[in-house]
Every structure is written in structure tokens, then in C-alpha cells.
Copies of this chain bind each other. A is one copy, B any other.
Amino acid sequence: MHAAHRLEFVMTARKIAQPFPIVTPESDAMKATQTLAAQRLPGLIVCGEDGRPYTILPGSQVLRFLIPSYVQDDPALARALDEDASDELCRKLVHSTVRDLLPKPQDLDDLPVVDADATGLEVAAVMARMHSPLVAVVDERDGNRVIGAITVSHLLDYLLPAQQATQA
């Protein structure tokens, strides 16, 4: 096998992690959604005031909050909604916090979170098991504070060095 096709699984999460916007449950829902949209993020990391990860808010969850359940059940009904109805949906976002967007609270154990010293393979295993497009990276030696995040595509870009060489 060609060396360029070796997966870089020994890289640690600390090296792969990228800075990532962090919101709290009390953050303004509209501002948080705008951040997600403007930076083309697959989701947001929600931390408590102590900087520890509280949960991950995937982009599709924002849509689940915005779109009435009867429209989710039958998307064709969306065509029947007029501009007033659209305003009404938006008003929900303006007057809400991130806490309102979240699904029911989860245990930390159920979150896609890895320690900074986890290897790339470990990160991949967590994402695979949880079907998650995003993991938060925390530093266990610093009270589990979030130091960044890793998306599936970013991880794969690290794991596949041959492709990086092509890009350079």
C-alpha cells in the first residue's frame, strides 16, 4: 500500500480541533441561528456558564423548532402558508433563547464529546457510533472546557493525507 494512503489516525483531537462558536442556553436564538448560517456550521456547541459542554444543537433541530409539526408531517402544506404565517414563525426565533431550541436535556455521556488527547480514530469512532456530524473537544486537564470542535469532513480531510497533498 502506498504510504500516501495511510490514515493519520494517531493525530490527537487537540491538533485536529478548530475554534468553534460557543453559545449558552441563555443565548439569543436568532443570533445563534445567524451564526450557524453565516459560518455554514453543521451545528452549534452549547456550553453552560462553566464552559463545559451542555449539548450539541444540530442545524436541523433549529428547523424542527421553527416549522410547525403539522407542516413537518406534510411538507406540501408549506405552500399554503402565507407571509403572515412566515412572520409568525420568525417571531418565535426573535423571542426565544437557545434553551427553547434544544430537544430534551441529555446526559453528558450521550453527547458527541471527546477529550483533547483522543486519537483521530477515537474521534471517528464516536462520530460513527452517534451518527454525529460534529464532536466537541474538551480538555479534561482544564475542567472539561471546550477547546474547539471537529466536523466529519474536517476529520476525513486529516485522515486522508493524500487528498491534502493534492490540495496543496
Contacts and interface: CB of A to CB of B under 8 A. Distances in A.
Interface of A: 1, 5-7, 9-10, 30, 33-34, 36-42, 58-64, 66-67, 71-73, 75-79, 81, 83, 86-87, 89-91, 94, 114, 118-119, 121-122, 124-133, 151-157, 159-160, 162-163, 166-167
Nearest to A159: B37
Nearest to A167: B38
Closest 3 CB pairs of A and B: A59-B152, A37-B156, A75-B125
Contact of A40 (B33, B132, B151): B151
A162 B34 contact: yes
Given A119-B78, A125-B78, A160 B67 contact: no
A60 B133 contact: yes
